[in-house]
Structure 1
Amino acid sequence: MKTSTSEGKHGIQWTAKMKLDYLNFTDDLTLTSHTQQQMQEKTTSVAAASTAGDLNIHKGKSKVLRYNTACNNRITVDAEALEDVKTFTYLGSIIDEHGESDADVKARIGKARAAYLQLKNIWNSRQLSTNIKVRIFNINVETVLLYGAETW
């Protein structure tokens, strides 16, 4: 992966001395570039490296999210255009075309609310102490709410 993405050094500026070329976790990969041309070159390079390693890119699952760009040229893999999207979820975090986390925060609150409501019988129970209820809340609701919060 490093070889196929770093030939042109077309990542986004991460720190004063470092660029972020890609994010990689198991079988999830995110490529980053400043221009459409750089992204197409990087995508083509990754596709070639994948083919050489007997791996397939699932074009139906591959998406393009454009941030702060007016260019609408399509990114392609093997002459097939990839779908442009306004938001996508990567490792549980919602990313949008404006670089904001509002949608992710709202989704987390909704999931935490659902987790809270599923435990309604526990909250209404007179047999459980407040201490036990707080522990159950921290384990079953708070963890859902704060999952991925470090990305906000």
Structure 2
Amino acid sequence: MQLDDLDFADDLALLSQTQQQMQEKTTSVASTSAAVGLNIHKGKSKILRYNKTCTNPVLLDGEALKHVKTFTYLAIIIDEHDGSDEDVNEWIGKAREAVLQLKYIWTSKQPTPNSEFSIQM
């Protein structure tokens, strides 16, 4: 099974294996949207090529969409070489900090019932 896109509210992430597929999907979404009175905001539309060397632009109404090295989708950072590794490493670091904070609480000789704790991730 192949996943072609990710949808959430008014966000759409098109997934393609080739530049040609991406161009076809972009054109299709644009024409279908226009048919029902919706416009795609060219300034917010971006292209991220994951481990690809193709440099041909993807066009929307004759204008090349901006190529980016990273983007955030649903609070996940994705980059052109490591996918979401950077984001995962950031979350691991935050979890490690939270556990270290708890270590002092768990090993405390004098915790009281009125102690207040806050852990933020």
Would you call these one fold, judging by a TM-score over 0.5? yes
1:100 to 76, 83, 87: 83
1:1-152 correspondence to structure 2 within 5 Å:
18-108=1-91, 109=93, 128-129=114-115, 132-133=116-117, 136-137=118-119, 141=120, 144=121
Other structure's SS at 2:88 match? helix
Q: Partners in 2 of 1:65 and 1:25 — Cα distance?
A: 18
The share of aligned pairs that are identical, in percent, is 58
Partner deviation per Cα, 1:112-146 (whole Å, 9 max, x = no partner): 97xxxxxxxxxxxx9942xx41xx32xxx1xx3xx
Decide which structure has greater helix share: 1
Structure 2: which 5+ residue stretches go unaligned? 98-111
Other structure's SS at 1:74 match? coil
Structure 1: which 5+ residue stretches go unaligned? 1-17, 114-125, 145-152
Q: Partners in 2 of 1:100 and 1:36 — Cα distance?
A: 18
Q: Partners in 2 of 1:128 and 1:96 — Cα distance?
A: 45
Q: Partners in 1 of 2:35 and 2:53 — Cα distance?
A: 34
- What is the CA RMSD across the aligned residues, in angstroms? 2.1
AA at the equivalent of 1:27: D
Q: Partners in 1 of 2:82 and 2:32 — Cα distance?
A: 29
Q: What is the CA distance between 1:26 and its match in structure 2?
A: 0.2
In the TM superposition, structure 1's runs of 4+ consecutive aligned residues that sit over 3 Å from their partners are: 105-110
Partner deviation per Cα, 1:12-61 (whole Å, 9 max, x = no partner): xxxxxx11010000011000111001110010000000100111101101
Q: What is the CA distance between 1:98 and its match in structure 2?
A: 1.5
Q: What is the CA distance between 1:106 and its match in structure 2?
A: 4.9
- What is the TM-score normalised by the length of structure 1? 0.62
